Amino acid sequence: MTGTSHHRQERLRRAAEEQLKDRLLPPWQKRVLQRLAVEAGNGWFPLLNRFAPHTPAQRPDMVLVGRQGVLAVLLRENEPDWADSRAAFVWVSELLAGAEVGPAMLTEAVVSVVVIHPQAHTGQLGAGEEHTAVTEDKLDRVLLHGEQLLSADETRWVAKHLDSRTFDLAPIMWNAQRIPVPRGDDAEPAELFDPREQRLHNALQQPFRDWRIFLDGSQLGAVRRRYSGPARITGPAGTGKSVIALHRLAYLARRTTGKLLFTSHLSNVPAVSAEQFRQLAPHLGNRVEFTHLHAWARDFLAGRGRLAEVDDREVELAFESVWQRAELSAPLRGFRNSRGYWKDEVDRVIKGRAIGSFEAYRTVPRKGRGRPLPPDFRSHVWQFYCEYERELSQRGVFDHNDVLMRALAELERRPLPRQYAAVVVDEVQDLTLVGLRLTRAISGDGPDQLLLVGDGQQQVYAGGWRLSEAGIELAGRGEILRHNYRNRNAVLDRAGRLEAINRFDDLDGGPSVPLDAVLPELPGGRVVEWHGTDQENALLEALRGLDDDSATAVLTSTNAAADHWWNVLRAAGVATRPLDRWDGRTTGPVLVGTLFRAKGTEFRNVFLPGDVEVGATFREDREAVLRRRLVAMTRARDYLWIGAPHRR
């Protein structure tokens, strides 16, 4: 430390001592405050609670604003109760959440709690679930280290914002009145400055992994709203449904006790969402369980001593054995010669609804399944289903539907000993009815306990249902989102031309918003529609021509096509990774996988080679193809490449 710097800090320390002389604080707390006041010359803005040392309950003793974020500081002789730490966090977060300070919109991700003990303290130190604890002589651990979350300008603006929001906090060693009000470019009149537009612009300049958790100020209401029972968030692709759900989980985790659950029908969605949540709220990662619904049911049953493992190979052989029996499959083939169609009928209609009798199946609605099955003909389907069940029994196996049904029956017999504080179900439109009933049994119907997130236009699995069939009544609770934050204009316009039929009735019969009716937020973008004979070289050339090839995916409609393009890219020297092994932690190399695995993801660049299904005979099949193409196209933010090779 130079002599000039030392003298400057000594002057600041003495000035702080003079400012604090009338405070009846313990000597060690005065030392801490004098030390922190010195940091006003190093980019930190300390605000002391006006009532300290008699700080009101559920308030921090002081707040520090700096490049490492906003620190809610508790001065304690002993380890505080976790509830005190959480209350301090919530109080500061309430002051900050949604504040548009300069070009940034603040969220709880910038807030953390620090407990400072006297030097002689011998208890537990370090980072815990609710706070980080240090002694007064180790303050550098929180002041000089850690990830920088705010710019220098944002730091000043946040400090000014806090000073203006509450009487409880008073600045030490700095004057809020001297901080200028944020404005736009100096060459632009202040009244024309649009902080929301600037906020979007700044977010787009950040690394893509940061962009994936961007929250616009207009979305904050959905994060913080209180619902008296089950609620839903719906809206077309790219409107921020999943991002809002993650921010809401962080918001609820800080205000509740116990575990929270994020689940989905799709196995990859929880893994990617867990990584986004760790980035958003790293100290809350152990409060939220991220798992797909079948894995939850399997683990739950195993914990109750029930068999729950599924042998997929044996299940497939069981179905194939029945399909090869002409006397059983011939009537079905005559009506529609498609093995996949009838497997969906068993999985998504009969077992997916837990239909237990032919009489119930005779009249069940089959929304989205094409031309009606005459009631008398359904007897052939029921006989086929019964033989499939007998085959499973003889092999001593059960399928994934059985796992969900067994878990639901076990929950009805003996509920969870401790309920989740909240349950979020993403991509809910792809659950079966049994899966939906299971999520309701897991969550219950209490306030803020169940949030359903989905969009019927993105349904990629057969079947359909209404929420009321699962005993879920929304009663107007929820949000319909209409602003697209994922896709740039060109991408959104191209995807909006697809007529993806909504078979899901916007979660229960409410008005749906088609993709071409949403309000775009991101200008620009580029869409390339290639036609020709050498698609492999065309795609490779386009890939090499990208300005930024990070966060790039090649999406296909089948596993065989994904394997083909994996080999093509690898042979060309392109670093690749299977999409089904990606957890969202990196933005490279190029990801390759099916559009089913792309659900719940987004990328900077998306390539759709022309291997999608063609020549679909039935209307519902054509609609399914369109919905899958819609899902794939709307994964792209900046660049979309669509291949259409000439058929030879």
Name the strand (E) or helix (H) holding 66.
strand 62-66
Nearest to 639 by CA among 488, 484, 508: 488
C-alpha 582/C-alpha 579 separation (Å) is 5
Length of the chain: 648
The distance of Cα 323 from the centroid of its chain, to the nearest Å, equals 40
C-beta neighbour count of 15 within 10 angstroms? 16
C-alpha 595/C-alpha 383 separation (Å) is 34
Percentages helix, strand, coil for the chain (3-state, rounded to 5) are 45, 15, 40
C-alpha 594/C-alpha 562 separation (Å) is 6
Strands 45-49, 169-171: pairing kind = antiparallel
Amino acid identity, residue 57? A
236 is in an annotated binding site: yes
C-beta neighbour count of 365 within 10 angstroms? 13
Structure tokens at 183: 């404005």
C-alpha 215/C-alpha 598 separation (Å) is 21
DSSP string, 248-306: HHHHHHTTS-S-EEEEESSSHHHHHHHHHHHHH-GGGGGGEEE--HHHHHHHHHHHTT-
Buried b (16+ CB within 10 A) or exposed e, 477-514: bbbbbeebbbbbebbbebbbebebbbbbbbbbeeebbe
240 is in an annotated binding site: yes
55 is in an annotated binding site: no
Half-sphere CA count of 609, side-chain side, radius 13 A: 28
Largest Cα–Cα distance of the chain, in whole Å? 97
C-beta neighbour count of 284 within 10 angstroms? 20
C-alpha 286/C-alpha 270 separation (Å) is 14
241 is in an annotated binding site: yes
**DSSP letter, residue 575:** -
8 Å CB contact between 44 and 65: yes
Instruction: Give one word for 529, left, alpha or beta, with left for phi > 0 and alpha for psi -120 to 50.
Output: beta
573 is in an annotated binding site: no
239 is in an annotated binding site: yes
Structure tokens at 409: 């029956």
599 is in an annotated binding site: no
Handedness of CA 308, 310, 314, 317 (dihedral sign): positive
List, in order, residues 6 or more apart from 505 with CB less than 8 Å away.
Answer: 456, 466, 512
468 is in an annotated binding site: no
Q: Which residue has the tokens 């169940």?
A: 450
8 Å CB contact between 448 and 480: no
List residues forming the annotated binding site. Answer: 235-242
List residues forming the annotated binding site for ATP. Answer: 235-242
